[in-house]
């Protein structure tokens, strides 16, 4: 056994970060919605799959490359999220957890079954981007690298927006004190629509990336949403950047466990980390205080 060779460790680390970037992108959107309106969106992973299937349709029917589909899927999911908030989700804001969980659970079932009706339960994949880059002694998968770089860029971009843009600050104001935000002239309903649109667009982007690296079916969301819950608790509930750290951490931890122990155990890593964090630092890595 040569498991402790530095090259191998580096290979694990890189692969883990690449896998974690996708988790992070997905979990950040989920956490943003929670942070701003205290709604846990159980349909968040289905929004990702909506992005994935949209990418698939564009590829299969119009031959559009996934990386190009990105520019269509992002606005489409933003729009869908924007109006979903207005028509449906807004009704449960401030009504307590149970209502929002029931609503978004229903939403996820509707989306899954719509997906099954249209695409059946077969797995799809887009084998467009393939191969690996060899850097020194480690191999880096090309599609995973592309996906990870996009995911990180997008996540940091949204973070920067929340931190520094006038609209981003208004979103944080709505998250902390909606009443006072209103009396600053901020249309809080519109800000929440914008926020949900943004989160849906991030999920859609994760969907595009999903098509490049995994095969997926309308029921793939379940694995992801559970991991996302673990990630946002690990990173800090409602803290955007905490979910980035949490996602990367989970990606790395899974690869190491898969490498050193077994890939069955890798599936359990999220929950082991979750329990550890709850024992050591119940507010998560970044605390739960602020959206950013």
Partner 1 sequence: MTEPLLTINKLDAAYGPVQVLFGVDMEVYRGEIVAIIGPNGAGKSTVIKAVVGLLKSRSGQIVFDGRDIIRLPAHAVPRLGIGYVPQGRIVFSHMTVTDNLEMGAFLIKDREQRRRSVDAVFAQFPRLHERRQQAAGSLSGGEQQMLAIGRAMMLDPQLIILDEPSLGLSPKYVEQIFEQLEELKAQGRTLLMVEQNAARALTLSDRGYVLELGRNRFHDTGRALLADKAVRELYLGGR
Where do contacts with partner 1 occur on this chain (CB under 8 A)?
A: 166, 169-170, 172-173, 176-177, 179-188, 289-292
Choice between 150 and 288, CB closer to partner 1: 288
Residue (of 86, 29, 15, 49) closest to 231 by Cα position: 29
Give strand pairing partners of 132.
Answer: 141
Cα–Cα dist 277/146, whole Å: 31
Q: What are phi and psi of 136, to 5 degrees?
A: 60, -125
In the complex, least distance from residue 189 CB atom to partner 1, rounded to whole angstroms? 8
Determine whether 238 is exposed, middle or buried from the number of CB atoms within 10 Å of its CB (0-12, 13-18, 19+).
Answer: buried
Choice between 187 and 223, CB closer to partner 1: 187
In the complex, least distance from residue 172 CB atom to partner 1, rounded to whole angstroms? 7
In the complex, least distance from residue 283 CB atom to partner 1, rounded to whole angstroms? 15
In the complex, least distance from residue 176 CB atom to partner 1, rounded to whole angstroms? 5
Choice between 99 and 114, CB closer to partner 1: 99
Quick check: 88 and 193 in contact, CB under 8 A? no
In the complex, least distance from residue 163 CB atom to partner 1, rounded to whole angstroms? 10
Length of the chain: 292
In the complex, least distance from residue 186 CB atom to partner 1, rounded to whole angstroms? 5
Q: Which residue has the tokens 């309903």?
A: 189
Choice between 147 and 175, CB closer to partner 1: 175
Residue (of 161, 147, 204) closest to 18 by Cα position: 147
26 CB neighbour count, 10 Å cutoff: 32
Cα–Cα dist 292/274, whole Å: 21
Choice between 177 and 281, CB closer to partner 1: 177
Choice between 69 and 186, CB closer to partner 1: 186
């Amino acid at each position: 056994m040569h498991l402790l060779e530095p090259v191998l460790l580096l290979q694990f680390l890189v692969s883990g970060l690449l896998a974690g970037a996708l988790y992070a992108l997905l979990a950040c959107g989920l956490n943003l919605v929670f942070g701003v309106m205290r709604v846990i969106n159980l349909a968040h992973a289905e929004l990702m799959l909506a992005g994935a299937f949209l990418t698939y349709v564009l590829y299969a029917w119009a031959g559009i490359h996934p990386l190009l589909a990105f520019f269509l899927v992002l606005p489409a999911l933003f729009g869908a999220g924007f109006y979903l908030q207005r028509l449906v989700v807004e009704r449960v804001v401030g009504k307590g957890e149970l209502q929002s969980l029931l609503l978004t659970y229903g939403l996820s079932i509707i989306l899954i079954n719509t997906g099954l009706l249209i695409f059946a339960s077969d797995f799809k994949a887009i084998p467009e981007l393939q191969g690996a880059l060899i850097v020194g002694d480690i191999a880096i998968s090309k599609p995973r690298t592309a996906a990870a770089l996009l995911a990180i860029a997008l996540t940091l971009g949204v973070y920067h927006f929340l931190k520094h843009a006038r609209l981003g600050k208004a979103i944080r104001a709505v998250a902390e004190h909606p009443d006072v935000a209103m009396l600053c002239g901020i249309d809080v309903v519109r800000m929440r629509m914008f926020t949900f649109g943004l989160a849906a667009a991030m999920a859609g982007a994760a969907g595009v990336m999903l098509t490049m690296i995994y095969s997926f079916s309308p029921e793939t969301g379940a694995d992801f949403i559970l991991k996302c819950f673990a990630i946002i608790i690990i990173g800090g509930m409602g803290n955007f950047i905490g979910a980035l750290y949490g996602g990367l951490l989970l990606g790395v931890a899974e690869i190491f466990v898969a490498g050193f122990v077994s890939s069955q155990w890798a599936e359990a890593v999220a929950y082991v980390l979750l329990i550890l964090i709850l024992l050591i630092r119940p507010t998560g890595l970044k605390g739960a205080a602020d959206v950013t």
